[in-house]
Amino acid sequence: MRLVVELVPRDLPALEAQVTEVATLSHVDAVNVPDLTRFELRAWQAAVAVRRLGAERWAAIPHVRAMDVDLRRPWAPLAALDAAGVTEVLVVTGDPPADMRHPVTGAGVLDVIRMIKRERPEWRVYAALDPYRAGFAQEREYLQRKLDAGADGFFTQPFFDVRLMAVWRELLAGVPVYWGVTSVTSERSQRYWLTRNRAVFPAGFEPTLAWHRRFAGEVLDFAAHHDTDVYFMPIRVGIRAWLGDVLR
């Protein structure tokens, strides 16, 4: 079982503080870094920084926003990622930027996966699984196209119910999956996940840190039983406050 923690790269000082906090957890194998256009620090730059700060302790997995990649020329971050020992990336479509200062090319996920696997065939290239955006059949068909393009596995949108995870595990038998878990600790945040991401919450869900600690334990038991992987996405909670007792 491999455990990954997501860090939000607002800037280098904030990233360094998060890395210091992750270092207090005894069982973390990798750091996952999203690419958010509202921040100046790009995910690949943050991944290089994580490798520098964490040395050999963790792998770093930056997100690649497909819509930003210019397929007409070599992808510029490749050399810097090679030098830092980064050999894994997560290719996502990416949300449209809030303003025109962030240029986009409109490249698609499948083409970017193919490009990276062509340029770095030894890398692990992951794609996204969203259990909420479509029906099971439609999402599964899209996942198969990603696998056909060269994806090595998937990182999921957060789950809030182990039973739904079990269904998707059966649908993706034999495919490496990092099961996403996040922290929704307010009613406002829960409404956001319901309306924006169409998430499914189980009966008895509570937007509290205590509920999420219990659920994190359930997910770890699930992952250990099925020899699969997990990644945690802290939102508006301290990493140690949420996971300190879980990842001892």
Q: What is the pLDDT of residues 10-49, one digit of tens each?
A: 999 999 999 999 988 888 999 999 999 889 899 999 999 9
Q: How far apart are CA 21 and CA 54, in angstroms?
A: 11
Q: What is the pTM of this model?
A: 0.94
Look at residue 101 and give its three-state secondary structure: coil
The identity of residue 57, as a single letter, is R
- Residue 116, judged by CB atoms within 10 A of its CB (0-12, 13-18, 19+), counts as buried
Of the listed ranges 23-27, 102-106, 138-142, 201-205, the one predicted with least confidence? 102-106
Between CA 117 and CA 113 the distance in angstroms is 6
Among 102-116, 167-181, 198-212, the range scoring the smallest mean pLDDT is: 102-116
The least confident of 56-60, 107-111, 192-196 is: 56-60
Give pLDDT, residue 160: 97
When pLDDT is averaged across residues 166-179 and rounded to a whole number, the result is: 96
Q: How far apart are CA 237 and CA 242, in angstroms?
A: 7
Task: Give the confidence band of 55 by pLDDT, cuts at 50, 70, 90.
Answer: low
- Rounded average pLDDT over 152-172: 97
Return the residue matching tokens 């879980």: 246
Q: How far apart are CA 162 and CA 38, in angstroms?
A: 33
Query: Would you state the structure tokens that stand for residue 128, as one six-digit string?
Result: 């996204």
Pairing type for strands 124-129 and 3-6 reads unpaired
Please state, in angstroms and as integers, the Cα–Cα distance from residue 30 to each residue in 42, 84, 174, 229, following that order. 18, 14, 21, 11
pLDDT more than 70, % of the chain: 97
Rounded CA-CA distance 17/70 in Å is 33
pLDDT of 174 reads: 93
Residue keyed to tokens 């939000």: 8
Q: Is pLDDT above 70 for 134?
A: yes
Q: Where are the domains of the chain?
A: 3-243
State the Cα–Cα distance between residues 65 and 50, nearest whole angstrom.
19
Residue 99 has pLDDT above 80, yes or no: no
Confidence band of 244 (pLDDT split at 50, 70, 90): confident
Write the CATH number of the domain with boundaries 3-243.
Answer: 3.20.20.220
- Is the pLDDT reported for residue 6 higher than 80? yes
Question: What local confidence, expressed as pLDDT, does residue 54 receive?
Answer: 72
Query: What SS3 string covers 195-245?
Result: HCCCCCCCCCCCCCHHHHHHHHHHHHHHHHHHCCEEEEECCCCCHHHHHCC
Question: Cα torsion at 144, 174, 64, 229 (round to 10°)?
Answer: 150
Q: What Rg do the C-alpha atoms of the chain give, in angstroms?
A: 17
SS3 106: coil
Q: How confident is the model at residue 101 (pLDDT cuts 50, 70, 90)?
A: low
